[in-house]
């Protein structure tokens, strides 16, 4: 599958936190021929193993889930909902959504708005609270909702199809973190005929948007000697945001995390990533200042601790209905991770206990 198809198909897949099965099936079909073992754990994580020539274990991680919604109450013909993950609720009114029923049918709906004609000037200035919002599937009675088999607990995504613009831009709803998933797919494809000096576990994790949940069980089960989380991270090029508050930018290459709210990356790991990028002439940038959390935040604390790093594809407008990435940033992130994995055994970092 070419890069444009990979990114658009992964972004379009239905996978709010806790309901990642469609993403998992897609990734499984993409990588099964590149790995020696593949399984799903009880948290829903998809874990693949590519066997190497030693028992040392390196884990690469990306999360499959996207921010979504869940039906919480059926109110006559209308559906109340709650958020699965960190939305800015002000962006939701007017969005087209897809509700997935228990049987797997996808029912389109609209997050209702109140037309400006019937709002007062004062009301027009106020943002809606999520508790004021509801989904409208075009029904006029609760019986019509029931006839569509919509239930409390059905997951919902904002329905926005990915689109490739020109040669280098992709717009899609879920590059946090399907961009990271796509990086891991490309890495496994690239390594399919090589034998690494360690076992490589690629983990496609669940529930990151609800608090790094899948990463906790996968890190415990895999028990890696070294781990790298791959993200689609916050790029802000907005002219209204001062430069010192812009965490990263598109078109400046992969983003290396030094610190976020969940981890201070060991400086030896950061310096190794920098050296690999410089040696291979891969552009890179740092994520600044201290924003966000990633799966590395729990992976590095599991089982007595694991050296962990974070690299990311910069993506504008994550946690909104549409985000924007550049394919060149994506390709450079694949290139950086590939070189990190190849050069890692020579670093002395593949040990749970570091020599003094
Ligand atoms: Zn993410």
- Is residue 195 over pLDDT 70? yes
What's the pLDDT score for residue 287? 94
Domain that includes residue 56, residue range: 3-66+173-346
CB 210 within 8 A of CB 85: yes
In a domain, 314, yes or no: yes
CATH code (residue 195): 3.40.630.10
Q: Are 208 and 318 part of one and the same domain?
A: yes
- Is residue 127 over pLDDT 90? no
With CA atoms as reference, report the closest residue to 228 among 296, 279, 281: 296
Q: Are 185 and 291 part of one and the same domain?
A: yes
CB 250 within 8 A of CB 334: no
List active site positions.
Answer: 208
Q: Are 12 and 52 part of one and the same domain?
A: yes
What's the pLDDT score for residue 148? 96
What's the pLDDT score for residue 98? 98
- Is residue 355 over pLDDT 80? no
Question: pLDDT confidence of 354, banded at 50, 70, 90?
Answer: low
What's the pLDDT score for residue 328? 98
Per DSSP, what are the bridge partners of residue 264? 259
Q: Are 264 and 323 part of one and the same domain?
A: yes
- Is residue 310 over pLDDT 70? yes
In a domain, 19, yes or no: yes
Boundary of a domain, candidates 158, 187, 208: 158
What's the pLDDT score for residue 289? 76
The rounded Å distance from CA 65 to ligand 1 centre is: 8
What's the pLDDT score for residue 356? 61
- Is residue 335 over pLDDT 90? yes
Q: Span 204-222, mean pLDDT?
A: 95
User: 132-181: per-residue pLDDT in tens?
Assistant: 899 999 999 999 999 999 999 999 999 999 999 999 999 999 999 999 99
What's the pLDDT score for residue 132? 85
Q: Which two tokens stand for residue 149?
A: 């088999």
In a domain, 326, yes or no: yes
The rounded Å distance from CA 201 to ligand 1 centre is: 19
In a domain, 297, yes or no: yes
What's the pLDDT score for residue 89? 86
Q: For the chain, give the mean pLDDT.
A: 95
Q: Are 34 and 107 part of one and the same domain?
A: no
In a domain, 276, yes or no: yes
Question: pLDDT confidence of 88, banded at 50, 70, 90?
Answer: confident
The rounded Å distance from CA 209 to ligand 1 centre is: 7
Q: Span 181-194, mean pLDDT?
A: 97
Q: Are 198 and 149 part of one and the same domain?
A: no
In a domain, 165, yes or no: no
Higher pLDDT, 129 or 59: 59
In a domain, 353, yes or no: no
What's the pLDDT score for residue 123? 82
Boundary of a domain, candidates 134, 158, 182: 158
- Among the listed ranges 47-51, 234-238, 255-259, which one has the minimum average pLDDT value? 234-238
Q: Span 273-283, mean pLDDT?
A: 98
The rounded Å distance from CA 268 to ligand 1 centre is: 24
The rounded Å distance from CA 183 to ligand 1 centre is: 13
What's the pLDDT score for residue 87? 87
**Domain tally, the chain:** 2
- Among the listed ranges 123-132, 238-247, 294-303, which one has the minimum average pLDDT value? 123-132
pTM metric for this prediction: 0.96
CATH code (residue 153): 2.40.30.40
In a domain, 168, yes or no: no
What's the pLDDT score for residue 251? 96
Q: Span 230-239, mean pLDDT?
A: 93
Boundary of a domain, candidates 103, 127, 158: 158
Q: Are 228 and 124 part of one and the same domain?
A: no
Question: pLDDT confidence of 282, banded at 50, 70, 90?
Answer: very high
Q: Are 208 and 295 part of one and the same domain?
A: yes
């Amino acid at each position: 599958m070419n890069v444009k198809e990979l990114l658009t198909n992964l972004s379009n897949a239905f996978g709010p936190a806790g309901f990642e099965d469609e993403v998992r099936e897609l990734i499984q079909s993409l990588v099964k021929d590149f790995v020696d073992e593949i399984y799903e754990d009880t948290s829903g994580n998809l874990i693949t193993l590519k066997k190497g020539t030693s028992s040392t274990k390196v884990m690469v991680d990306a999360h499959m889930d996207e921010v979504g919604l869940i039906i919480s109450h059926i109110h006559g013909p209308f559906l109340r909902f709650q958020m699965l993950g960190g939305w800015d609720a002000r962006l939701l009114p007017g969005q087209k959504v897809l509700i997935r029923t228990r049987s797997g049918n996808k029912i389109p709906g609209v997050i209702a708005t109140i037309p400006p004609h019937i709002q007062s000037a004062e009301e027009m200035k106020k943002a809606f609270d999520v508790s004021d919002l509801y989904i409208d599937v075009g029904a006029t009675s609760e019986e019509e909702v029931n006839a569509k088999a919509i239930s409390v607990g059905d997951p919902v995504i904002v329905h926005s199809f990915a689109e490739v613009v020109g040669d280098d831009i992709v717009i899609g709803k879920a590059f946090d973190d399907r961009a990271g998933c796509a990086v891991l797919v490309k890495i496994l494809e690239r390594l399919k005929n090589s034998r690494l000096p360690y076992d490589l576990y690629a983990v496609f994790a669940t529930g990151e948007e609800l608090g790094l949940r899948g990463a906790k069980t996968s890190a415990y089960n895999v028990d890696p000697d070294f781990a790298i989380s791959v993200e689609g991270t916050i790029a802000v090029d907005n002219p209204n945001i001062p430069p010192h508050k812009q965490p990263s930018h598109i078109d400046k290459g992969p983003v290396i995390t030094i610190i976020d709210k969940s981890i201070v990356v060991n400086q030896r790991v950061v310096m190794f990533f920098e050296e690999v990028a410089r040696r291979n002439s891969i552009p890179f940038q740092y994520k600044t200042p201290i924003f966000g959390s990633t799966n590395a935040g729990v992976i590095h604390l599991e089982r007595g601790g694991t050296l962990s790093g974070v690299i990311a594809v910069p993506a504008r407008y994550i946690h909104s209905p549409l985000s924007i990435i550049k394919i060149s940033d994506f390709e450079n992130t694949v290139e950086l991770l590939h070189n990190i994995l190849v050069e890692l055994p020579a670093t002395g970092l593949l040990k749970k206990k570091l020599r003094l």
